[in-house]
Amino acid sequence: MNRSLISGIALVFGVTLVWVGATSFFTVNQVEQAIVLQLGEYRNTISEPGLHFKAPWPFQDVVYFDSRVLDVDPPTEEVIASDQKRLVVEGYGRWRITDPLQFFRSMGSEQAATSRLSSIISASLRRVLGNVTLASVLSDKRAGIMREITQEVAAQAKPFGIAVIDVRLRRADLPEENSQAIYSRMQSERQREAQEFRAEGDEYAQRIRAAAEKDRTVIIADAQRQAQIQRGEGEGLAVKIYADAFGKDPNFFAFYRSMQAYRESLGASNTTLVLSPDSEFFRYFNQLPAKLQ
């Protein structure tokens, strides 16, 4: 009887030791951080990975939190820019838990923190984007706008033991009903610019053609003037040469002119002349040398 009692006590003691050992040691891996609670009150923060010791449950308990960078994806928002342009934006954020105790007291869980951060990011997007124009959001000023949003969200999340690393816009588009109207307006604007370019090109081409035609007319007129001057000088020189040559022998000049008249009047095969043999026109026919008569 005593042996059975001793065996039972030893068994209970062994089970107790196993239970104490199982609930007194806990492991924190590389992507986690933890806080130790004693009867609901904070006792310690564990940020180093490895095996750690605590009082057995239910005296002390361990709550684990992720130490990695986490994502938050707020719902798509439609905001109105300062120029009254509607814009559909879809943002995202990167955050991590920097103070597990403060996070546990203020948020309690990652799901609650994600929901709260989504609301903060959405409100910040509406406020900041509502003070800038649509052109600024779509230009190189966008990086500065996102820095302002990140700083604002980080300041609001800091009391929760959260560090907001970055907030970005995944998408920034016009509403579907506005997009088509803007695309049509852009198309009309491009067509108008194209027509202006074509009109300017036609005007420039017309000026070039007019200038070329003017230069052509001036060049041709100058060439004709030079040609007439040279032709006149040549004809005058020819007349002078003829006059000098024929002036030396008037009889030869009369004979030469008569020979030209014979060639012009009798040269064609179908020419018929009815003249008197004693006519002045044939005077040189009547003056043949004696040896030819």
The per-residue b/e assignment along 199-219, b for 16 or more CB within 10 angstroms, e otherwise, is eeeeeeeeeeeeeeeeeeeee
Question: What's the rounded Cα separation, in Å, for the pair 61 and 26?
Answer: 10
- Give tens-digit pLDDT for 73-102: 998 888 888 888 888 888 899 999 999 989
Spans of all domains in the chain: 2-66, 70-174, 252-292
Q: What is the predicted pLDDT for the residue at 266?
A: 65
On whether the CB atoms of residues 254 and 283 are closer than 8 A, the answer is: no
Residue 293 has pLDDT above 60, yes or no: no
Token representation of residue 139: 């230009």
On whether the CB atoms of residues 132 and 82 are closer than 8 A, the answer is: yes
Within 10 Å of residue 43's Cβ, how many Cβ atoms? 15
Mean pLDDT of 43-53: 82
How far, in whole angstroms, is CA 64 from its chain's centroid? 49
Q: What is the predicted pLDDT for the residue at 292?
A: 39
Mean pLDDT score across all residues of the chain: 80
Confidence band (pLDDT; 50, 70, 90) for 291?
very low
Residue recorded with tokens 């107790």: 16
Report the predicted TM-score, pTM, of the whole model to 2 decimal places.
0.55
CATH homologous superfamily of 70-174 equals Band 7 domain (3.30.479.30)
- Give tens-digit pLDDT for 246-280: 777 777 777 777 777 767 766 666 666 666 666 66
